[in-house]
C-alpha cells in the first residue's frame, strides 16, 4: 500500500467511529446506553441491522465465492424478506409493547426463569465465540495479503471498536453503522466500476457479462430440489426463512437494533428496509466477484491466491508440472474467451456454439490445474479442506486497483469488521447485565449503577474478543466448528419464541424441555445424516414446537403459569 492508501484507510476508520460518538453523545442512562432511549429513526436501524449482519468476511468471501462457484449463493438470502415480514408483523410489536431490554427477558414473562436463563446462556456462548472470530477473520486475511501482524491488527481494530462501543453505547454503535454502511455501499460501487474499467481493450461490460455467463458464473437460481444441495431456491426460501427468523427474531444483536426504534412503525420500517435492500446488495457483491473472474480471463491469476500456500508448494516436487499445466490452461482459456467474444459479435451461430464448447473445455482444464495445485498443498500440509476464496478479491484489489481506492476498500473491510463486532459487544453486554447480573445477582441497583455495569461489561466483552482473536490462529478447525455450532442454536431459540408468541397453552417446563429436545434433534441430524445445514433450521424449530405442544400435555399448566 502507498502512503495515500494508508492516509485514506486511517482517516476513514477513525473518522467514522468519531462521527458515531458525536451523534450518540449523552448516553447517561441505562435506557439510552442500551436502547438509545427508543429514539432511533427507521433508516438508522435498517442500516445498522445490515451492518451488524455484514461482517468483513461477507465482503471478501462472497466475492471470492462468486469467482469460484458463481452467483448461486444469493439464494441463501431469499428467505430474508419473508422473515422480515413475519417479524415486523409479530415480534416487533410484541417486544416493543412488553418494554423489555432483551428478547430473553420476554421468555421469563411468558414462560419462566429457567427458560430465560437457558436462552441467555445459549446466546452468550454462541455470540461470545463469534465476536472474537469477527475480529480475527479479516486480520488473518490481511496478514497473508499485506504481511501485517494479525495480532497487532486485531488489537488495533478491537481497541478502536471497544472504545467507541463502551463510551457511546448503542447510539454510537448505530450511527457508526449508518456511516460505515454508506461507505461500504460506496466502496462496492467503486469496486464494480474499477473492475469493469480494468478490463482489456475490446472487452466491454456486456462482453464481460456474457463471458461470465458462458461458464455458469451468473447462475443465480437453481430450481432443482435437493436436500443435500446447500444452495437452491427451495433451501433458500424455506431453510433461509427459518434461519433468518432465528437470527433476526431471537439473536439479541439484531433484536436490540429494532428495540431502539422510536415506535413500532419505525422498527417495522427498519426491518422492511433490510428486506428490500439486502438481497440486491448480496447479488451486487456476487456480481463484482463474477466480474473479477472475467478480469482474470485476460490477466493471469496465481494457481493459489493465498500467498503463504503458494510459497509452501513452490519448492515441492511436482510444482513445476502444476505451474506449467496452469500456465498452458490459462493461455488456452484466454484464447477461447477472445474467440467467443469475436464469434458473439459476428452473430455466427455455428462459430458461437463451437467457441462456447472450447471456452468451457478450457475452463474445466484450468479448474483441473488449480485442483492439482490445491492437492499439492494439501499433501504438504497433511490434511484436506484447503480453501482460498477469502483471498481472491483482496489479491485482485491490492494488485490492480489504483492508489487511494485500495486504502478505501481495506477501510471498508475493516469497518465491516468493527460494525459486526460492536453490535455483538453491545448485545453481549446487554444480556450479561439484564438477563444475568440484574436478574440473578443484583436486582436492587440504581440506574447509574446498571449504566456503570453495562459499560464495564461492554469493555470486558471487548477484552474477551481481542484476547480470543489473539489465540484464534491456534484454534484451527475449532474456528470452523464455532461457526457451525452457532448455526445449531438459532432453530431452538426460534422454536421457543414461536411457542411463546402463538401457543398460549405451552408454559415454562414444556418450553424448557422442548428446547433441549430440539437441540438433541439438530445434533442427531448433524451426526447421523447428510442433510444440508440450512434444513437444520426448519427441523430444529419444528421439533421444538411439536415437542412443546406434546410436553404441554405431559406438564399441564398449573398455579402461577396457568394464571399467566
198, 264, 460, 542: residue in contact with another protein (rule CB under 8 A): 264
- Rank residues 199 and 414 by Cβ distance to another protein and give the closer one: 199
Q: How far is the CB of 196 from another protein (least distance, A)?
A: 17
228, 263, 387, 477: residue in contact with another protein (rule CB under 8 A): 263
Contacts of 386 (CB under 8 A, 6+ apart): 309, 374, 377, 378
Q: How far is the CB of 502 from another protein (least distance, A)?
A: 5
- Rank residues 20 and 81 by Cβ distance to another protein and give the closer one: 81
16, 45, 47, 78: residue in contact with another protein (rule CB under 8 A): 78
- Rank residues 93 and 445 by Cβ distance to another protein and give the closer one: 93
CB contact burial 182-207 (16+ within 10 A = b; e otherwise): ebbbebbeebbebbbebbeeebeeeb
**Own/partner pairs, 189-198, CB within 8 angstroms, 24+ separation:** 190/405, 190/408, 190/409, 191/288, 191/397, 191/401, 191/405, 191/409, 192/284, 192/287, 192/288, 192/291, 194/401, 194/402, 194/405, 195/288, 195/291, 195/292, 195/295, 195/396, 196/291, 198/295, 198/400
In angstroms, the first-to-last Cα distance of the chain is 63
Q: Could you give the string, one character per residue 511-530, with x where binding to another protein holds by CB under 8 A and - elsewhere?
A: --------------------
29, 31, 58, 219: residue in contact with another protein (rule CB under 8 A): 219
Q: Does the footprint of another protein cover residue 223 (CB under 8 A)?
A: yes
Q: How far is the CB of 233 from another protein (least distance, A)?
A: 7
C-alpha cell at 32: 439510552
Q: Check residue 55 and report its DSSP letter.
A: -
By CB under 8 A, what part of segment 533-552 binds another protein? 549, 552
SS3 assignment, position 93 = helix
C-alpha cell at 343: 464469434
Say how far apart CA 36 and CA 259 lie, in whole Å: 9
40, 107, 203, 269: residue in contact with another protein (rule CB under 8 A): 269
CB 492 within 8 A of CB 95: no
Q: How far is the CB of 262 from another protein (least distance, A)?
A: 11
Beta bridge partners of 40: 261
Q: How far is the CB of 299 from another protein (least distance, A)?
A: 23
Say how far apart CA 131 and CA 311 lie, in whole Å: 31
Q: How far is the CB of 482 from another protein (least distance, A)?
A: 31
Q: Does the footprint of another protein cover residue 345 (CB under 8 A)?
A: no
- Rank residues 66 and 167 by Cβ distance to another protein and give the closer one: 66
Q: How far is the CB of 516 from another protein (least distance, A)?
A: 21
Q: What does the chain come to in residues?
A: 564
Q: Does the footprint of another protein cover residue 276 (CB under 8 A)?
A: yes
Q: How far is the CB of 340 from another protein (least distance, A)?
A: 9
Q: Does the footprint of another protein cover residue 99 (CB under 8 A)?
A: no
By CB under 8 A, what part of segment 278-337 binds another protein? 279-280, 283
Say how far apart CA 499 and CA 541 lie, in whole Å: 10
Q: Does the footprint of another protein cover residue 50 (CB under 8 A)?
A: no
Binding region for another protein (CB under 8 A) out of 19-27, 159-167, 224-232, 274-282? 274-282
Q: Does the footprint of another protein cover residue 446 (CB under 8 A)?
A: no
Number of residues that bind another protein (CB under 8 A): 47
74, 157, 191, 336: residue in contact with another protein (rule CB under 8 A): 74
The HSE-up count of residue 351 (CA atoms within 13 Å, CB side) is 13
Q: Could you give the string, one character per residue 230-259, with x where binding to another protein holds by CB under 8 A and - elsewhere?
A: ---x--------------------------
19, 31, 69, 93: residue in contact with another protein (rule CB under 8 A): 93
Say how far apart CA 461 and CA 466 lie, in whole Å: 9
SS3 assignment, position 213 = helix
Q: Does the footprint of another protein cover residue 351 (CB under 8 A)?
A: no
Q: Check residue 496 and report its DSSP letter.
A: H
Q: Does the footprint of another protein cover residue 407 (CB under 8 A)?
A: no
Binding region for another protein (CB under 8 A) out of 17-25, 77-85, 140-148, 182-190? 77-85
Distance of CA 216 to the CA centre of its chain: 24
By CB under 8 A, what part of segment 170-209 binds another protein? 209
CB 147 within 8 A of CB 473: no
Q: Does the footprint of another protein cover residue 98 (CB under 8 A)?
A: yes
CB contact burial 375-413 (16+ within 10 A = b; e otherwise): ebbeeeeeeeeeebbbbbbbbbbeebbeeebbbbbbbbb
Say how far apart CA 47 and CA 68 lie, in whole Å: 29
Give residues in contact with another protein (CB under 8 A): 74, 78, 81-82, 84-85, 88-90, 93-94, 97-98, 209-210, 212-214, 216, 218-223, 233, 263-265, 268-269, 272, 275-276, 279-280, 283, 352, 356, 501-505, 549, 552-553
Amino acid at each position: 500500500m502507498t502512503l495515500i492508501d494508508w492516509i485514506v484507510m486511517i482517516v476513514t476508520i477513525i473518522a467514522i467511529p468519531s462521527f458515531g460518538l458525536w451523534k450518540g453523545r449523552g448516553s447517561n442512562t441505562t435506557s439510552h446506553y442500551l436502547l438509545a432511549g427508543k429514539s432511533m429513526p427507521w433508516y438508522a436501524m435498517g442500516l445498522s441491522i445490515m451492518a451488524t449482519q455484514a461482517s468483513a468476511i461477507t465482503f471478501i468471501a462472497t466475492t471470492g465465492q462468486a469467482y469460484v462457484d458463481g452467483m448461486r449463493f444469493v439464494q441463501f438470502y431469499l428467505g430474508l424478506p419473508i422473515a422480515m415480514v413475519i417479524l415486523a408483523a409479530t415480534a416487533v410489536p410484541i417486544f416493543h409493547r412488553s418494554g423489555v431490554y432483551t428478547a430473553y427477558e420476554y421468555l421469563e414473562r411468558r414462560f419462566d426463569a429457567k427458560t430465560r436463563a437457558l436462552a441467555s446462556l445459549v446466546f452468550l456462548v454462541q455470540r461470545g465465540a463469534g465476536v472474537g472470530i469477527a475480529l480475527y477473520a479479516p486480520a488473518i486475511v490481511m496478514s497473508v495479503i499485506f504481511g501485517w501482524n494479525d495480532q497487532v491488527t486485531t488489537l488495533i481494530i478491537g481497541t478502536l471498536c471497544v472504545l467507541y462501543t463502551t463510551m457511546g453505547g448503542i447510539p454510537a454503535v448505530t450511527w457508526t453503522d449508518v456511516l460505515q454502511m454508506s461507505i461500504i455501499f460506496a466502496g462496492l460501487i467503486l469496486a464494480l466500476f474499477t473492475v469493469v474499467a480494468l478490463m482489456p481493450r475490446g472487452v466491454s461490460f456486456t462482453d464481460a457479462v456474457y463471458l461470465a455467463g458462458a461458464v455458469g458464473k451468473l447462475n443465480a437460481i437453481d430450481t432443482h430440489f435437493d436436500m443435500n444441495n446447500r444452495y437452491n431456491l427451495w433451501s433458500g426460501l424455506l431453510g433461509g426463512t427459518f434461519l433468518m427468523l432465528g437470527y433476526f427474531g431471537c439473536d439479541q444483536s439484531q433484536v436490540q437494533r429494532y428495540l431502539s426504534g422510536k415506535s413500532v412503525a419505525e422498527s417495522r420500517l427498519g426491518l422492511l428496509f433490510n428486506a428490500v435492500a439486502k438481497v440486491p446488495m448480496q447479488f451486487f457483491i456476487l456480481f463484482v466477484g463474477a466480474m473479477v473472474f472475467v478480469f482474470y480471463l485476460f490477466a493471469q491469476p496465481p494457481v493459489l491466491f493465498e500467498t503463504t500456500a503458494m510459497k509452501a508448494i513452490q519448492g515441492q516436487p511436482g510444482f513445476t508440472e502444476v505451474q506449467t499445466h496452469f500456465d498452458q490452461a490459462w493461455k488456452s482459456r484466454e484464447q477461447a474467451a477472445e474467440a467467443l467474444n469475436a464469434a458473439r459479435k459476428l452473430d455466427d451461430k455455428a462459430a458461437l456454439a463451437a467457441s462456447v464448447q472450447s471456452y468451457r473445455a478450457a475452463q474445466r482444464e484450468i479448474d483441473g490445474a488449480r485442483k492439482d495445485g490445491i492437492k499439492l498443498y494439501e499433501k504438504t500440509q497433511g490434511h484436506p479442506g484447503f480453501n482460498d476464496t477469502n483471498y481472491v478479491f483482496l489479491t485482485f484489489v491490492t494488485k490492480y486497483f489504483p492508489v487511494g481506492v485500495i486504502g478505501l476498500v481495506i477501510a471498508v473491510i475493516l469497518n465491516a469488521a468493527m460494525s459486526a463486532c460492536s453490535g455483538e459487544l453491545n448485545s453481549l453486554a446487554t444480556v450479561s447485565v439484564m438477563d444475568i447480573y440484574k436478574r440473578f445477582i443484583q436486582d436492587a441497583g440504581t440506574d447509574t449503577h446498571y449504566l456503570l455495569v453495562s459499560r464495564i461489561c461492554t469493555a470486558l466483552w471487548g477484552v474477551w474478543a481481542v484476547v480470543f482473536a489473539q489465540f484464534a490462529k491456534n484454534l484451527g478447525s475449532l474456528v470452523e466448528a464455532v461457526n457451525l455450532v452457532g448455526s445449531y442454536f438459532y432453530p431452538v431459540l426460534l422454536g421457543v419464541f414461536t411457542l411463546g408468541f402463538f401457543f398460549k397453552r405451552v408454559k415454562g417446563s414444556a418450553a424448557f424441555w422442548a428446547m433441549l429436545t430440539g437441540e438433541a434433534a439438530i445434533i442427531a441430524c448433524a451426526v447421523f445424516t447428510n442433510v444440508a445445514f440450512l434444513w437444520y433450521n426448519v427441523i430444529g424449530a419444528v421439533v421444538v414446537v411439536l415437542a412443546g405442544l406434546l410436553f404441554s400435555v405431559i406438564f399441564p399448566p398449573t398455579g402461577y403459569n396457568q394464571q399467566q
